[in-house]
Structure 1
Amino acid sequence: MFEKLDILAFGVHPDDVELGCSGTILACVAEGKKVGIVDLTQGELGTRGSAETRKEEAAEAAKVLQASVRENLKMADGFFQNDEKHQRKVIEVIRKYRPEIVLCNALEDRHPDHGRSAQLVEDAAFLSGLRKIETVVEAELQDAWRPKYIFHYLQDRFLQPDFVFDISDYFDKKLQSVLCYKTQFFNPDLNEPQTYISSPAFFESIRARSMMLGKRIGVQYAEGYITKKMIGVNTFNSFIQHTT
């Protein structure tokens, strides 16, 4: 039996999770939550680095984030589809770790893989709750499992978030996890082609986006999320400051 996780964060490429929701992961781990990361592809079509270097970088970033587990489903970068074959792979990993919350890519974005993977994970999360869909892992028939919430983190395009998560105490460590990807971002010591994300300006945009979202709720840094499912509350206690 695999360890049950509270949160399972999906990224279509290694570094998506770090860029999109690593501050949230760090905050949740600090609260004692168990968080896992699943990369759908190895990022093998990336202009800089290779699948091998991305694997090493992802492992280093997982240590920074104190993830309970990180695995890669090795789907074809750029060419995976939202079909039964790929949905079953995601269903298997959701049923393996039984998360209450799933974090995944933006519903639409500059990179076409992002939106496609977002819908793949969302569809698979629903199907994972249907007991008549049978999946077997390590010769064991899996039980049906449907996460309570699917939250899509913001990426390159600015989409209006449904809520934002305060990461002020964890922003520096978020950047540390991103910098584990030495081949992908600005690095004057590398003789690699320049890309959209390898300039110093792109790295500064991470800070600017986090500051902008933080300003919306009166904190220094935040990460934004979109949810298709309405979030309900049954108390205002978390919104009220108690004094003695």
Structure 2
Amino acid sequence: MKLDILVLAVHPDDAELGCSGTIMRHIAEGKKVGIVDFTRGELGTRGTAETRDQEAADSAKILGLHARENLRFRDGFFQNDEAHQLEVVKMIRKYQPEIVLSNALHDRHPDHGRAGDLSETSCFLSGLPKVETSLDGIVQEAWRPRLVFQYIQDRYIKPDIIVDITPYMEAKIKSIQAFKTQFFNAEVAGGPATYISSPEFFESVIGRAREFGKAIGTTYGEGFTSRKLLGTDNLFQLR
């Protein structure tokens, strides 16, 4: 299946926190969108790899994804090296996306920046015909996404572009809440308190969306960065 947008996320729930509104907006517009999670989040203090698997599947239904899979890299210890790059290249060539959304290039969690760099490197390598990969015994053709954006995560980063997600904010919250073991939920008994399990963290996610929305004259937004300069054919299409 060819996707229009492929989201690369190091942990299940990263995509939900960073760009789920953007995902749903584009699916509603007829685009095909999928997520490839790098790890199962097995080092998380709360929950298990198995519960995260189920939560990711539950969230995928809320988002309306066309595909979601997990590379099962080692949480916390994967590297931006050849072995991991080739596995990500296989996914890029499998889905042939026009646009890739990936983790922030630097953030509070060291996995995020490392995954952002791994995604960016892999997108470049995927376009090189002499980088040979095969999947299920079939040799893959080179493919390079047209655009690569990074969604903004815990730390504030000034975005290069903001997407209006106002109609999808309620569903974004539901997709995050699908990860019942990870985030605050008054109806679910939790485990040890963590940085992301507090009500305040959840409110900060909503606050960030409000901040980005305000910047473009709407209620809620999601911000993205780009290492590539962006262009347009019509200045009147910009907010």
Name 1:215's counterpart in structure 2: 214
CA shift at 1:187, angstroms?
Answer: 2.8
Q: Which residue matches 1:105? A: 103
2:59 paired residue number: 61
1:39 alignment counterpart: 37
Cα distance in 2 for partners of 1:232, 1:48 equals: 43
Mapped partners of 1:80, 1:150: distance in 2: 21
Distance (Å, rounded) in 1 between the aligned partners of 2:151 and 2:190: 32
- Matched residue, 2:68: 70
Instruction: Give 1:167's aligned residue.
Output: 165
The alignment partner of 2:56 has SS state of: helix
The count of residues paired between Structure 1 and Structure 2 equals 238
Aligned to 2:84: 86
Alignment of 1:1-244 (within 5 A): 3-188=1-186, 189-239=188-238
Normalised by the size of structure 2, how large is the TM-score?
0.98
Q: Which amino acid aligns with 1:25?
A: I
Aligned amino acid, residue 129 of structure 1: G
Q: CA deviation at 1:236?
A: 2.9
CA RMSD in angstroms comes to 0.9
Tell me which amino acid in the other structure corresponds to 2:112.
H
C-alpha distance in structure 2 between counterparts of 1:85 and 1:207, whole Å: 37
Q: Distance in 1 between matches of 2:89 and 2:36?
A: 12
Cα distance in 2 for partners of 1:196, 1:239 equals: 36
Moved over 4 A (4+): none
In 1, the alpha carbon distance for the partners of 2:141 and 2:236 equals 36
Percent identity reads: 57
Write the letter of the residue equivalent to 1:234.
D
CA distance, structure 2, for counterparts of residue 93 and residue 239 of structure 1: 32
**Structure 1 residue ranges without an equivalent (≥5):** none
Unpaired runs of at least 5, structure 2: none
Please give the alpha-carbon distance, in whole angstroms, between the structure 2 residues aligned to 1:229 and 1:104: 14
